[in-house]
Structure 1
Amino acid sequence: MPRFLEYLLIAGYIAVLLVVSHWIGQCAYNWMPVEATEEAQKVDSLFSFLTSIGAFIVLGLLGMMVYSVLFFRAPKNDYSEGHPSRGDIRLEILWTAAPTLLVLWIAFQGFNIYQQLNILGLGQIVHLHTPLELEAPAYASDDKPKPSAETIDVFVKQWDWSFRYPNNVISNELHLPVNLRTRLNLQAKDVLHSFYVPEFRLQQYIVPGRDIDLVVTPTRTGEYKLKDALFSGTYFALLEANVYIESPQQYNQWLSKVQREPASMKNQAVAEYMQPPKTMFKSNWYTVAPEQSAIAEERKVMNDT
């Protein structure tokens, strides 16, 4: 094959490869749960970019192998060794520089995406409550609280989620107004937990003794599920809560309704614990007995005060 046609074939394959890789990267958006926040859109963009890069590398290597088999096949009964590549300075530079540039490019893209997330209010602010800093929580040196339209306290323990809204409205459901930044103040009362909503693309550890602020901007109304992404004991699978993203009008109506008529709270872990064992023999494994609902505790404290 003439050298010109060989180069033309390689250039054409690279062009097709770029188009196909970009298409695969766009398809990657459908592999994830629906995007329910602005933060999810940025994370999915990064995932799509990495998928495109991976598809380009895999298809490129596959094409190179097929090309070598078709055009550089050894003749029959030819058992001689091929041209040695060792000592070729150009090849050494190529396979050292190419991965290095690729990794730096991916790192830059990731840094750029997370910088945008910070602009959208994803910055995590950790308050270290030490005996000397009870009155003034310590923020990171360059961190400042991002503006938000609403602040909701999130409490988690074995095995119960509870949420405190403005005007001391308490519920075991997380309600968020759509298209408004909401600050979530995460607090664990016993062990490590993790705030995780797949549609938010956010997974934040909650450390006992620390208040961790997380700002989210919901963009899609609907019902979702809050999970604990860290194993916390026997009833870990039951540590879930319903998340509702709704219009600001519906959100305010729900707040008013709960404030007038507090809903009864059910804890699935308590129900499971109270059931008689279904096995013939007891395991005698240590199990943390589910306590009174955190919401009931909060209401009791409020009534006492």
Structure 2
Amino acid sequence: MILDNLKNSCNCNVGFYGVEASFSHEALLAYFGRNINAISCNEFKDVFDALEEGKIKYGVVPIENSSTGGILEVYDLLRNYGFYIVGEKCVKINHNLLGVKGTKLSDIKEVYSHSQAFLQSKKFLMEHKNWSMIPYFSTAMSAKYISESKLKSRVCIASKKAAELYGLSILKENINYNKNNYTRFIIIGKSNNISEEMDKISIVITVSHKVGSLYDILSYFKNNNLNMAKIESRPIINEPWRYFFYIDFYGNVLDKNVKDALEGIKSDCQYFRFIGNYKTDCEL
């Protein structure tokens, strides 16, 4: 099957955001296994650039968290580069406060991590208002930095795997306020091979600025018995108060009701792009 070939037989370069022991790296290993060459990228854009330049065959980036919502930069990159979502992987995220051995909470002055980790741990961090939050490239990269700095005044928020890899102590476990905290990662590629097992579709559209325009689009899902999973809006640059709408829904483009819905949506949109048909991993 196409999906099995992608996940289990990809002896290829796959880019991911962050470094080893990052949650993106965990998603990559969970999806592809270890029979790949994992390429670390410092920024989300670096993953897209590597794919565009042919340095990698697929990329793995986070797009949505169950506590803090969509990762907007990734939505914009996905549209701007014209790539496809070819798969997804959901990873449970547990954040931990890490420091060099011997660090006490009273020693801490600075906390390093990705901005998403700060948001997902905000209730715990609000209890320590004397700490300075220093945004860093990723959770795992912040762990690497703290390990190298060897200062008890500096700690980070990262995974237990990062603590193991970089020889850090866990000062406080599971500091994220939502104990059912998941991040949805997408696998991006230059082409989208469709098979009958695919059951989730992503598109991006714009509609005219008139009464009922978006309602007309959404009616195609109801009329064709299709369940929408998500809609996310992003502003259109240089066109104030106009938006791109990213829509995820369940279905397969080989099915008649999906074909009918997509044809209707295309006809009523000012802009339409098909982003991918892939296998669901993140269930409701």
TM-score for both structures, normalised by structure 2? 0.25
Q: Which has the higher contact order (CA 8 A, sep 6+)?
A: 2
Structure number with bigger Rg: 1
